[in-house]
Amino acid sequence: MDVVNLAFDFGASSGRLMMSTFDGEKIQLTEVHRFSNEPVWFNNRYYWDFLRLFHEMKVGLKKVSQMDVSVESIGIDTWGVDYAFIDKSGHLLSNPIHYRDERGKGMLEKMEETGVSLDEIYQKTGIQNMTINSIYQLYYDLKYRSHTVENAESLLFMPDLFSYGLTGEKYNEYTIASTSQMLDANKKDWSIELLEKIGIPIKLLQPIIKPGEVWGNLSKQVQEEVGLSAIPVIAVGSHDTASAVAATPLNSKNSAYLSCGTWSLLGMELDNPVIDETSYNYNFTNEGGVEGKIRYLKNITGLWIIQQFKNKFSQYDKNIGFGEISKLAKEAEHIDYMIDPNHEYFVAPFDMEKAVVQYCKEKLNKEPETIGEIARVSYNGIVMEYKKAVEAIEKTCDKVVDCINMVGGGIQDEFLCQLTADVTRKPVITGPIEASVLGNIIVQLQALKYIKNLEEGREIIKNSFEIKEYEPK
């Protein structure tokens, strides 16, 4: 009999409920329910629309209850750093603030006021210093939203919050907690001494739960509402990149992975963190992975820029989608300059096209004019960051990267894949597209004893979905 599992996957613009069917050899995916996931701009702040998203989760589960299937488990993944506060009665104190909000701006400098240096934080946590990290968002809350923190009993990261809503049980999942920059990278638990120095209330932190452990069962209230039984909710690699890397059929131990979507996360899977002066100078991060692995990686602004182009251009011409933008960029071969995709201009502009043109005029004394030229300078900048990251991995890990395994929605852009191979001078293997969902699923299958380990799960994924190869030209 086929094994049926459910995966909730929340991306930058949409959420999905995906159903997996595993026959013992291959996995098939079916989309059950899709819904938008856009931040809400209210009173000069970006928020998650959490209550509507949780409602959509229950809509999806109601659809499943009408199907002739027996679901064995549920897993949830989304991006890192964002969190919510729960009061002593178990209620949500406010809508969670979205990482695209600018409240973290300037907080790296203000952190010095605590007497704790950015270097000290990195040496403990192994996480690159970024204003979006939970530790800086939380420090902002302590300084400027203290009334909310004072009334909070617990802090839950977003997948923790969704799981809490389904089960009533509170934990902080390991891979998502590692993105907060509040976890000790070596101990794989909270860095209590560091957090106490900063003044972060330890009572807010929940017990760490690892991927593959059972979070709890659907609560009676949720069961009655959606028409399902007490299905177990399993802690997966709830950080979507942790799930994506879990699903990456790595060519070898010297292969780099590139999870390519709104963000590009390029790195290598290691047994132990790399935390030293060189990794700090290169601003590399050591995030938690499935089976206790370390995801040694670099965060790079990815297709966020291209997505914003598409959103704008398609308002004027519905024929201009991702495929057309990629085609026009490929044709603009005469454009040999590039933007820095990590520049602050591109974090959350209201008009990405204007931001790119402004950057080129001010920083490069150039002015791209056509859609193809504007897209090309962006592609060039993104892929050059890939090259820099690969070279930095080789230097800091003392290894030679033999291949780049690209996964995620970005691999549908064949121009991007070929350009990555050309610029990095590394072979590129692409697939699967639905990496975060599949990583979510194989951890569930492992927890339920249907597969032995991550290696077996990756082999099943490799045999179930299309894999393409790109050689450098």
Q: Please give the pLDDT value at position 313.
A: 85
* In contact, 155 and 89? CB cutoff 8 Å: no
Task: Provide the CATH number for the domain formed by 250-430 in this structure.
Answer: 3.30.420.40
Instruction: Write down the pTM of the prediction.
Output: 0.91
Catalytic residue status for 77: no
320 or 437: whose pLDDT is higher? 437
9, 131, 222, 230, 471 from 219: Cα distances, Å: 20, 36, 5, 7, 51
Q: Please give the pLDDT value at position 415.
A: 97
pLDDT digits (tens, 9 = 90+) for 170-220: 999 999 999 999 999 999 999 999 999 999 999 999 999 999 999 999 999
* In contact, 139 and 194? CB cutoff 8 Å: no
Does 1 score more than 80 pLDDT? no
**Average pLDDT for the chain:** 95
Averaged pLDDT, 320-329 = 94
Q: Which residues contact 71 (CB under 8 A, 6 or more apart)?
A: 4, 5, 6, 64, 228, 231
Q: Of 4-8, 10-14, 243-247, give the lowest mean pLDDT range.
A: 10-14
Q: Per-residue confidence at 90, pLDDT binned at 50, 70, 90? A: very high
Can you spell out the DSSP letters for 256-314?
Answer: EEEEESSEEEEEEEESS---SHHHHHTT-EEEE-GGG-EEEEEEEE-THHHHHHHHHHH
Q: Please give the pLDDT value at position 349.
A: 86
Residue showing tokens 């003392």: 398
* In contact, 33 and 56? CB cutoff 8 Å: yes
* Helix H or strand E segment including 16: strand 14-22
- CATH 3.30.160.20, domain 3-234, yes or no: no
Distance CA 123, CA 117 (A): 10
Q: Per-residue confidence at 317, pLDDT binned at 50, 70, 90? A: confident
Residue showing tokens 């960051």: 385
Distance CA 72, CA 445 (A): 9
Distance CA 74, CA 64 (A): 12
Distance CA 67, CA 10 (A): 23
Instruction: Exactly one of 49, 77, 101, 240 is catalytic; name it.
Output: 240
The two counts, helices (H) then strands (E), for the chain are: 18, 21
What is the β-pairing status of strands 172-173 and 208-209? Answer: parallel
93, 125, 142, 299, 340 from 106: Cα distances, Å: 25, 20, 15, 19, 20
Is 393 exposed, middle or buried, given 0-12, 13-18 or 19+ CB atoms closer than 10 A?
buried
Q: Which residues contact 166 (CB under 8 A, 6 or more apart)?
A: 57, 74, 216, 218, 219, 222, 233
Going by C-alpha positions, the residue among 119, 17, 24, 135 that lies closest to residue 67 is: 17
What is the β-pairing status of strands 71-77 and 3-10? Answer: parallel
Averaged pLDDT, 358-371 = 96
Strand spans (E) along 375-420 = 403-407
Distance CA 199, CA 202 (A): 9
Distance CA 331, CA 334 (A): 8
Q: Per-residue confidence at 460, pLDDT binned at 50, 70, 90? A: very high
Q: Per-residue confidence at 316, pLDDT binned at 50, 70, 90? A: confident
Averaged pLDDT, 313-325 = 87
Listed in order, the ranges of the chain carrying CATH 3.30.420.40 are 3-234, 250-430
Q: Please give the pLDDT value at position 347.
A: 81
Q: Per-residue confidence at 360, pLDDT binned at 50, 70, 90? A: very high
